Structure 1
Amino acid sequence: MSGGEIVISLDFELLWGVRDHATRDSYGANILGGRAAIAPTLERFARHGIQATWATVGAAFCGSREELLEVLPHKDLWPRYQNPALSNYRYLDELGADEAHDPYYFGASLVDQIADCPGQEIATHTMSHYYCLEPGADMASFAADLDAACQVAKQRSITLQSIVFPRNQYSPLHLDTIEQRGIRRYRGNPGAWAYRSVAGAGQTLPRRLMRLIDAHTGVLGPHLFRPGGNNVPASHFLRPRAGRLTALHPYHLAVIERAMTRAAQTETGFHLWWHPHNFGLDTEANLAGLDRIIAHFTRLREEYGMVSRTMATSGERQ
């Protein structure tokens, strides 16, 4: 594979991805802004030949409350987390009738928009934004949740080939379960200790601080990978330009660019990821950051032959 590859994945969640700690009132503007950012993101991808994987929460595939309730697992197989707030099944009574009345939870029209854009893969982010390693989670409820996600995708003629585990939590047993359902690729974590797959209680201040430092300095390395395996590990999270760290954002983009260059030079892979709602505020500035990354990829494509790949097509030759 000449010139290395860049893989882009987006965790498309709507409010399902943050409901355990946020509401329409506290985070709704980010969700609506993230929806609005999808069209210009896709336009950029199409214009520059960028492939991307959109790991979508199964519930967000739905266009209405009625459609969602029809595909959910039986209540006996809903997760019983020790922290009940983690279960998105407990928020079903909040749902509006359909996407027009509740764009915070339903995203069927956006799934169609993504599917219609060339080079885009729609993957799964589980049905309910399932947390595999949280106390109270078990393999039976995970399998039922994943089966529901596969069913709702099939109803839209989508065959799931890749998965992004919510909050990057998984174990070998979860990998066996996805393989049994024909899902062959997953986004693993970078190898450094600060990125290891742990439950929420394990996300200690030193881990979070080290990831923050790494994002703006690259001190832990470029986090590259050899394409072609089932694991398509993350390299860097594209942090939004926001808040007190706004002044440091150019340094963060420079870390990403250096890692991309290293991947092109060493014929390895670089995997960048984010959430659409990360672009929900200060959207134009965040899209400008994406433009900078795309422009850098274009230079690497011209100079080294770097290619853009989805998770499903990672490792494929042209």
Structure 2
Amino acid sequence: MQTLFERGVVVISIDTELIWGYRDFRNEAQFQERFPDAVGANEKLLVELRTAEVSATWYVVGALALGESAGERDPRMAGLPTDWIAGIPDGGPKTAPVWYRAPFVKRLHETRPAQEVGLHGGLTHLIWTDRRATREVVTWELAGGIKALEQAHIRPRSFSFGRNQEAYHELLPEYGIRSYRGRSPGLAWKLGQTLPGAFLRASDELRRATPPLVWPRESLPG
């Protein structure tokens, strides 16, 4: 039986992905044109939350926490499909700021009031339902994302799936993940990867529809 809380509870979760969430269908120039202030938007949002003394959960793609990377030649990418990592540039926060944001991730971890930093998708925002996402590949992606955040002294306990495409739930507790953000119960998401579903999701975004209220529930033992 569900009981009401004495006070209302709101969880703010923010997928922090920059170009990693778009790289399979937008190149860097297209991303910059579509989201010209993507890097600045994260900084501004953090300032607003601090000013309002509000905590939130930031689901961060692991690679954003890397101080430097050799891109697609980086050993940390070695266990991922070659066609998936093709085109990932080498560099760091100064030379490739839409790819690597270690200083920002560090600020997230250190700011007050405390902000929770969870993991979004893994190391590279791999879509876990993709045909290339075998158990072995997903394990590499998940472990790599956790290791990347650990470089910033962050041990993620919560997780969100890339594009809300859920799979391999049983791997999460093996890597210390205690909760994940499930798919929205709204009709747009229940319709999945269909044309009507895509239309409804676009409509919800354009009219800034209010997210549906949900009750947290346990879907895996423990």
Check whether the contact 1:16–1:105 (CA below 8 A) recurs between aligned residues.
yes
- Matched residues in 2 for 1:189 and 1:197: separation? 11
Give the SS at the match of 2:169. helix
Give the SS at the match of 1:175. coil
Give the SS at the match of 1:225. coil
Q: Does residue 40 in structure 1 map to residue 44 in structure 2?
A: yes
* The 10-residue stretch of structure 1 (118-127 or 1-10) with the greater mean CA deviation from structure 2: 1-10
CA drift of 1:71 comes to 5.8
Structure 1 residue ranges without an equivalent (≥5): 232-318
Q: Does residue 205 in structure 1 map to residue 201 in structure 2?
A: no
Compared CA separation, residues 156 and 71, structure 1 to 2 (3 A): farther
1:103 is aligned to: 97
Check whether the contact 1:59–1:105 (CA below 8 A) recurs between aligned residues.
yes
- Matched residues in 1 for 2:179 and 2:30: separation? 34
- 1:249-268 matches, within 5 Å, as none
1:141 is aligned to: 137
- Matched residues in 1 for 2:182 and 2:169: separation? 11
- Matched residues in 2 for 1:18 and 1:193: separation? 24
Give the SS at the match of 2:32. helix
CA drift of 1:121 comes to 0.9
Q: Does residue 181 in structure 1 map to residue 175 in structure 2?
A: yes
Give the SS at the match of 2:58. strand
2:87 is aligned to: 91
Structure 2 residue ranges without an equivalent (≥5): none
Q: Choose between structure 1 and 2 for higher RCO, CA contacts under 8 A separated by at least 6 residues.
A: 1
Check whether the contact 2:65–2:100 (CA below 8 A) recurs between aligned residues.
yes
Give the SS at the match of 1:156. coil
2:152 is aligned to: 156
Q: 1:78 aligns with which of 80, 89, 92?
A: 80
Give the SS at the match of 1:19. coil
Q: Does residue 120 in structure 1 map to residue 108 in structure 2?
A: no
Compared CA separation, residues 43 and 207, structure 1 to 2 (3 A): same
Amino acid at match of 2:185: G
CA drift of 1:40 comes to 2.2
Deviating above 4 A after TM superposition, structure 1's stretches of 4 or more consecutive aligned residues are 29-32, 66-71
Check whether the contact 1:71–1:148 (CA below 8 A) recurs between aligned residues.
no
1:223 is aligned to: 212
- Please state which structure has a larger fraction of its residues in helix: 1
Check whether the contact 1:79–1:142 (CA below 8 A) recurs between aligned residues.
no
Deviation string 1:120-167 (CA, Å, 9 cap, x unpaired) is 111111111011112222111101110111111122211111111001
Check whether the contact 1:15–1:31 (CA below 8 A) recurs between aligned residues.
no
Give the SS at the match of 1:6. coil
Check whether the contact 2:72–2:90 (CA below 8 A) recurs between aligned residues.
no
Amino acid at match of 1:61: A
Percent of aligned positions that are identical: 25
Deviation string 1:217-268 (CA, Å, 9 cap, x unpaired) is 86xx9621224x457xxxxxxxxxxxxxxxxxxxxxxxxxxxxxxxxxxxxx
CA drift of 1:108 comes to 0.5
State which structure, 1 or 2, has the greater radius of gyration over its C-alpha atoms.
1
Q: Does residue 49 in structure 1 map to residue 45 in structure 2?
A: no
1:26 is aligned to: 30
Amino acid at match of 2:115: Q
Check whether the contact 2:59–2:118 (CA below 8 A) recurs between aligned residues.
yes
1:7 is aligned to: 11
When normalised by structure 1's length, the TM-score is: 0.60
CA drift of 1:19 comes to 0.9
- Matched residues in 2 for 1:69 and 1:122: separation? 27
User: What's the RMSD between the two structures over aligned residues?
Assistant: 2.6
Give the SS at the match of 1:163. strand
CA drift of 1:98 comes to 2.1
Aligned length: 212
